[in-house]
Each structure stands twice: as structure tokens, then as C-alpha cells.
Homo-oligomer: A and B are copies of this chain.
Amino acid sequence: MRALSKATIYALRALIYVASKDNKDQQYVTIGEISEELNISFHFLTKTFQVLTQNGVLESHRGPHGGVLLKKPIDRIFLIDLVHILEGNDFFEKCLLGLPGCGEKEPCPVHNFWKNVKGSLEKEFEKTSLAHLIKGISTGKMRI
């Protein structure tokens, strides 16, 4: 099951990279560095980072010593927001069978079943922040 597009996966890995870099003086991190470290296409990552910048997740700065940095503390950046931005606000509304023009009123056979699954996933995303995600990295037991 691929829950997320590659573009989103790249963005998440990149954000985890930035978040896990303890960067007290808040220096900008270049997309070049990130893409190189994580082996992600520079231009592809740049494009999806633009979306994050436009949506207030990242702050970007051009020119020498430029780059990107997180606009909020890592414990206030939640997976659910990232997913809404990157995959669309209807991410958790999409359904298993994807029938046209259906819903609560006239639900298909899997409607209630899927509603539960989605519900628990959504809760999980709501309570998971970048801070949670980078736990374990510092100990060296996890990697991106």
C-alpha cells in the first residue's frame, strides 16, 4: 500500500532531515545539501518545497547563505497538515472505491468499513509531529 505519492515521501524525508539537524542559530539549509544527502532529485524536491514555502511550512531565502528552514517549532508541525498541503485537503475524504457522487446518504458496501480505517489513520496523523518523527535519530538507531 502506497499511501503517499513519491513527491510527498521526498518532502517528508527532507523535512525530517531539516528537523533533525539541530540548528540552533537557525541557518538556512540549502536544498542542494538535502537532495545530496538523501539522494533525491534536486529539481523535483525544489518544486515540492516551493509548495511548502507557499503554505507557511518553510521559509525560503535566495542567494548566498540562503536555503530553507522550518517556520515553526518541530513540535508544532503535524503530519496531517503536511499531508493536506501536499496531497490535497481531500486526502482523508477519498474513499476506497471512489464511486462518483456518493457518500453518507447512499453509501456503497465498503463505506463504513473504510470510514473507520481512515478515521484511525487520520487521528494518528493529527497527533504526530516532526518532533515525534525525529525521535530515535539522535541516538543513531534510526536513519532517514
A interface list, Cβ under 8 A from B: 1-4, 6, 9, 12-13, 16, 20, 87, 91-92, 94, 96-99, 102, 106-111, 113, 116-118, 120-121, 124, 128, 132-137, 141-144
Instruction: Quote the shortest CB–CB distance from A45 to chain B (angstroms).
Output: 14
CA distance A40 to B121 in the complex (A): 30
Q: Is the interface of A mostly helix, strand, loop or mixed?
A: loop
Instruction: State which of B2, B87, B109, B133 has its C-beta within 8 Å of the C-beta of A142.
Output: B109
CA distance A81 to B103 in the complex (A): 26
Given that A3-B1, A9-B97, A102-B143 are contacting pairs, would A109 and B135 also be in contact in the complex, using a CB cutoff of 8 Å? yes
| Chain B hits for A137, CB < 8 A | 109
